[in-house]
Chains A and B, each alone.
Chain A
Amino acid sequence: MDYKKLVDTAILAGQIMMENNAETYRVEDVMNRILDISKLETTEAVAITTGLYVTLDDPSINAITVVKRISNRDTNLNKIAKVNTITRNLTSGNCTIEDAYDELKNIDEVQYNSLYKDFASSLISAFFALLLGGGLIEAFMSWISGAIMVLSKKIDNKTNMGFFIYNVLYSAIVAAGTSVLQRYTQLDFDIDIVITSSIMPLVPGTAITNAFRDTLRGDYMSSGAKAIEAVVIALSIAVGVAIGLVITGGRAI
């Protein structure tokens, strides 16, 4: 058996899952299951939010250890589901290591095009306004603010400055934009609901949920990292909203 390929497959699977915010125990579980195919004496996989470590050892071979740094973080639930399916197939013997490795390499399938996703992002804001008890006018204004948010997110692709500054920028633009809209259109809507629903796509829901789940499993390193991530994102949104409201002078009505 090609042990190097096996370790590479395990690391690649772990990397994809970690980069897409899977729970830490699930990442370790997937890597361990792939390594167990080798039936060697020592198989060890460690996953932390910022890195992966895998070791394979046996009296018959030279030990193989691979370390992988994880620096990008995004959420793509489809990739997690696909890695899960590929691992299931691999461990049940339905496909070879080479096939699994190739499948993992070509996992970047576009499910929804970016226009569709942008539209969904603005719709989140509109529906959140209704969910929080707003009327149709709040929903419509939130939809516009959500669209402003989507447009301001396009700056992200042009420059590269780290997520804290971006979150501050987006929420400042949305807060300022909403209060300017209210001032110049003279429409009577609840600005609190509109701003809350339009910052909803930025809110660290993923980080909060995963931080709690990792804590329960005893992965304190990962859960601590994710909890800090959630607090920092929340703070950046708060700072941004505060800046936006102070610049434009807050509520008009």
Chain B
Amino acid sequence: MQWGMLIMCRKQRAAIFAVVILVLVAFAAAETTRKEMHFKVGRRASVSIVNAYGPISVKPGPGKRVVVTAILYSAKVEVDQSSRGHRVSVFSHLLDGATPDTGRVDYEVLVPADANVTLHSTTGPLHVEKLHSDMILEGSGAVVEVRDVSSGHIQIKTLNGPVTLTNVSDGHVDITSVSGDVALNMVNGSVVHVNSSSGKIHYDGDFGDAGDYSLTTHSGDIEAIAPAYASIEVVARSVQGRVENDFPLQPEHTSFVARAGSAFAGTMGEAASSVKLLSFSGKIHLKKH
């Protein structure tokens, strides 16, 4: 009898426990809200998303429409929107008492492939892919990733958020990051400028498009990997760090003073592109593929 009563109690306890769990899950689910916004736009639309906390992902979508899907994590944040002509603006509006967790909104955005995009977020991450347009991506700690983009002006600013660009062609790229590492894989364009203070810069590509490439840091290391067929006029200098070069460069008549171990300059091929690798105290290595 006692044993039977014990089993009954256990079953009851399990049932109560399950109900409590269900209630908690339902409660948590009720806190997140999904919101979907649709905008009709024309050619070269301009889309701006401002989101304090949470990821923003932008991909191309069908037709001349912008579709914004937002998941709000609590009632402490609202999503406001406005649109005028080709300009669409969506922003997360924090209410009193919002924290990085309760103020979080996750955005997924579909835009026409030629739409210009501006994304601001403190935490990010920010992700853009498969557009051929201009973009401005800013976030102090946001991880930024851009891939498969062409024919656009890409401006990225972070404090310590790492930045990765992959397969960017015919671009004008301007990246400033204080301490975030920057990785450029197959990135070509008329201008590719990276300005870092203590972050590392890694470039893997052929410095093509007869462009102006400038990778500069204060104390971060710079590693540039290029193929033997790269056509570049290169200048590399580290005031206090070491520089290494795997390529046989042709000397060039220039006022730049080459110093073994801390500076080198020269050309390869037709010297179509201009490449500057400058670090104050970081190491610089121009490597062969």
Q: Do A and B bind each other?
A: no
